[in-house]
Amino acid sequence: MRKLLLILTAVLLWQCQSETKPSIDGIWRAEVPTVIGNIPFNLEIETKNDSISVFAINGDERLALDNAFFENDSLHITMEVFDAEIVAHVSGGNMNGVYTKKLDNNTDRRGAFSASLGDSYRFAPDSETAKHDVSGKWQVSFTEPEGKVYPAVGVFSQKGNKVTGTFLTSTGDYRYLDGNVIGDSLKVSCFDGTHIFLFKAKINENKLEGGRFSSSLLYQETWNGVKDDNAKLPDPNSLTFIKEGYDKFDFSFKNSKGETVSLSDAQYKDKVVLVQILGSWCPNCMDESKFYVKWLKENPEKDVEIVGLAFEKSTDPSIAYPKIDKMKKRFGMEYEVLLAGNIDKAEANKSLPMLNHIMSYPTTIYLDKKHQVRKIHTGFSGPGTGEYYAQFTEGFERFMELLVSE
């Protein structure tokens, strides 16, 4: 009998040990291969009881990802709002698996995922000496695969060999970039769940040459930059406008309850209204939504309403509305967000025919109390842009004061 008890005890101990989840707490250095080389990024994982929290680390940003759980011997990290997921087998201080992201056309793109625990650097340890300093502003030109060229402004800050910053374009910024100067090269990257960006260029005095940019693992562009303290972009308030032949802006779309919402509804009567063109899949829209939510909470006495017009990867209500509702809950968006159409800009333009085009997600249309269009702002300079974000904030508050006081 005693022998049987010893055997049963040993079996139970073995089962408990086999079911014990591996230790995953701490900073991980992860990599996914792209068409121009491996992109490194950092994840921070915290466990408490049976709960697992995962954060994407990019410069000053610590962005919570949606959900994480163990299934069998693999860790699943889901980014449901962004239609992306990491599934990786954990062994000791290493993870190996697959990163999957759903593209705009609803097809999946996958890449091998690997990560090691305890490494917090990006491309090179921060202790390595840098031969160049890229701090400051850069006038940049990106060239798309078909040859179209578009302008950008690079804004970087460097301490030692560590570089943070971003690129601003007329359709928004590339959010928080993090990387290093290594020898004669600049390398920066970003991972926020859906954006998986890698930028590389050679440093030649006051020039960045032979630049390459990859996103979504396989897409790539080329770029070059020149140091320029006066670097700038076209005026974001001049790019989107009401077409000739239309005398006003209007809309009529449904919310997730199936209710039709339009500017003629009582809740918008005699109020300043901001119409936010966005998508649940869009991190720049996420930054803008956080800004608007904060402003509304800080200015409850002002007669201002915001309504979001969401353009989604799928217009199937059973797919689109749950994503919209999840976005609203995550960012505390208590205002209406309506399903307005498909993410494809040619299709989106049909939903709002009075606009010359929908150039960027996000775009905000400012309507006064009589619902006349007073300004249309294309793109958004988020908190990763530093002084540009501060300038936007100051200009926004000043313009809102004007509209509210009229």
Provide the pLDDT for residue 9. Answer: 41
CATH 2.40.128.120 fits 2-117, yes or no: yes
Q: How far apart are CA 263 and CA 372, in angstroms?
A: 11
Beta carbons within 10 angstroms of residue 310's beta carbon? 28
Q: What is the pLDDT of residue 8?
A: 39
Closest of 36, 34, 28 to residue 96, by C-alpha: 28
Strands 177-182, 172-173: pairing is: unpaired
Domains 2-117 and 136-227 share a fold: yes
For domain 252-405, say whether CATH 3.40.30.10 is its number. yes
Q: What is the pLDDT of residue 3?
A: 46
Residue numbers of the chain with a pLDDT score lower than 50: 1-19
Sign of CA dihedral 250, 252, 254, 258: positive
Residues in a beta bridge with 156: 136, 165
First to last CA, the chain: 90
Largest CA distance in the chain: 94
Distance CA 134, CA 227 (A): 8
Number of helices (H), then strands (E), in the chain? 5, 25
Instruction: Show the tokens assigned to 239.
Output: 């790019």
Select 136-227's CATH number: 2.40.128.120, 2.60.40.1220, 1.10.150.20, 3.30.300.160: 2.40.128.120
Which pLDDT score, from 0 to 100, does residue 20 have? 58
Q: What pLDDT, on a 0 to 100 scale, did the predictor assign at position 276?
A: 98
Domain ranges of the chain: 2-117, 136-227, 252-405
